[in-house]
Amino acid sequence: MQKEAISVFDIFKIGVGPSSSHTLGPWRAAERFLKEINLADVVSIEVKLYGSLAKTGKGHGTDIAVILGLNGEDPVTFDTTILTQTIDAIKTERKIKLAGKAEIVFDAEVDIVFLKKESLPFHPNALKFIATFKDGSVKEETYYSIGGGFVAKEGESSSKAQSVSLKYDVHDADELLQNCMRAGLSVSQLVMENEKIWRSEDDTRQGILNLKNVMFDCIYRGCYSEERTLPGGLNVARRAAKMNKLLLKNIPYHSFDEWIAAIKNTDRSFTNTMNWISCFALAVNEENASFGRVVTAPTNGAAGVIPAVLLYYHLFASGTEDENIIQFILTAAELGSLFKKGSTISAAMGGCQAEIGVSSAMAAGALTECLGGNPAQVMQAAEIAMEHHLGMTCDPIGGLVQIPCIERNTMGAIKAITASQLALQSDSDLMKVSLDTVIKTMWDTAKDMNSKYKETADGGLATNIPINLPEC
């Protein structure tokens, strides 16, 4: 049977915050729709947002993502420092240049419709594009943002259900483990073999090092940001830069390399190390909440966990070489793909266990392999991390990816390191709960969860904290 083939670069995608499902996915959907129509003949475009995209779309920047996607901007390269001025210009002039080429009249306030009371059956994150042409004809397409920036068009089961034959089929954790044992490969070595179906080993290595650069650059930016509060109206204070300053005890630095050297020279006590891990995770998610450039890992809301654990490994454990980084990212990606195949990485389907839980499991397994664990211990670490995130709800206050999201990344990172250490100290033969079992349990739990805890801002903290935002 042909199995879904997911590459490391499907799990880790460079994009713009604050949400992979509510920002990156709709952005990509807009780009895809434009490729299906004759731009020169378009007179108007209307976009309808449904379900979770409508309920938390304002706070998650869905309208902004759709506008930028229609305007032909690329989330990988778009200069995020001009985001506000680009959006303001389009809104004020009420004109948009489709794919950067064909200008039409577009009033974002009218042409993007938030249908908060309507949902489409296939997935809670749905959006419909309706183009009207000069001859009066109309073309409509519906897309689903299915988590982690993946997009499926109506009728497709998955945007990346690729029909390629990998060297090693991996449908679930047990098959991954059996393949590793039979071939005598670590998880990362097996993944590298599979990646060769898409590109050369050298290109995969370069691509991964580029991901690492974007992740570390995001931490660095978050650690020196001079912004005091996050956008969106909640006035949430940014904390990473303050924490960075305190931890460095005023050691000066003028570049990323000097900053890294300065951290290496700080006190490496347990408390300090924990504080650095939290600082790294906060930095990424504060950047994410500020529409900064991040890497989905596997989502934007959970984008801080893996970079924080990776930088911890790089600075405080033994992961100093490029080789170590590549091993970490390959292993993490494979574990993320197991969750996507067996459960979900969409908070609108599974709550926060699908975001922070999955990223923590990915980081736990990756760190375990990098610290010398065998494939069974890698699975065990991922299982432990997820087991202790089961049932975690998604209830962002004001529909913004800020509270509880940002702090949750620090928790996910710390749990990942603890899970890794537990697995490394344990005999995996004595394990009672397998990774496949916990993935199935996560999916069962997701199906049982009340929809108000699935990225709707209709339950939990989102309803128990009084706020007064203009619109969310």
Sites of contact with ligand SF4 (CB under 6 A) = 301-302, 347, 352, 355-356, 394, 396, 401, 404-405, 408, 455
Query: Measured from the CB atom, is 61 or 404 closer to ligand SF4?
Result: 404
Q: What contacts 24+ positions apart, CB below 8 Å, involve 272-277? A: 272/247, 273/312, 273/316, 274/414, 275/243, 275/247, 276/247, 276/312, 276/315, 276/316, 277/308, 277/309, 277/312, 277/410, 277/413, 277/414, 277/417
Q: State the minimum distance, in angstroms, from the CB of residue 396 to ligand SF4.
A: 4
Rounded CA separation 458/169 (Å) = 40
Measured from the CB of residue 463, what is the shortest distance to ligand SF4 in angstroms?
Answer: 14
Nearest distance from C-beta of residue 403 to ligand SF4, angstroms: 8
Nearer to ligand SF4, 90 or 146 (CB): 146
CB-wise, 383 or 395, nearer to ligand SF4? 395
Q: Say how many Å lie between the first and final Cα of the chain, rounded.
A: 44
For residue 158, the minimal CB distance to ligand SF4 (Å) is 20
Burial 44-54 (b: 16+ CB within 10 A, else e): ebbbbbbbbbb
CA distance 137 to 338: 43
According to DSSP, the β-strands at 112-115 and 42-50 are parallel
Nearer to ligand SF4, 373 or 396 (CB): 396
Complex with ligand SF4: residue 7 or 296, whichever CB lies closer: 296
Comparison of 355 and 383: residue with beta carbon closer to ligand SF4: 355
Asked if 431 and 437 touch (Cβ cutoff 8 Å), the reply is: no
- Cβ-proximal residue to ligand SF4, closest one: 301
Smallest distance from ligand SF4 to CB 187, Å = 26
In the complex with ligand SF4, the residue whose CB is nearer, 25 or 404, is: 404
Minimum CB distance to ligand SF4, residue 62 (Å): 13
CB of 404 to ligand SF4, least distance (A): 6
Of the pair 365, 460, the CB lying nearest ligand SF4 is at 460
The whole-angstrom distance between residue 351's C-alpha and the CA centroid of its chain comes to 14
Q: Which two tokens stand for residue 432?
A: 């009672």
Could you tell me which residues come within 8 angstroms of residue 181 by beta carbon, excluding any fewer than 6 positions away? 375
- b/e 383-417 (16+ beta carbons within 10 angstroms → b): bbbbbbbebbbbbbbbbbbbbbbbbbbbbbbbbbb
The least CB distance from residue 455 to ligand SF4, in Å, is 5
Name the strand (E) or helix (H) holding 152.
strand 150-153
Distance from the Cα of residue 267 to its chain's centroid: 32
Q: For helices 356-370 and 187-195, give the axis angle rounded to 10 degrees.
A: 110
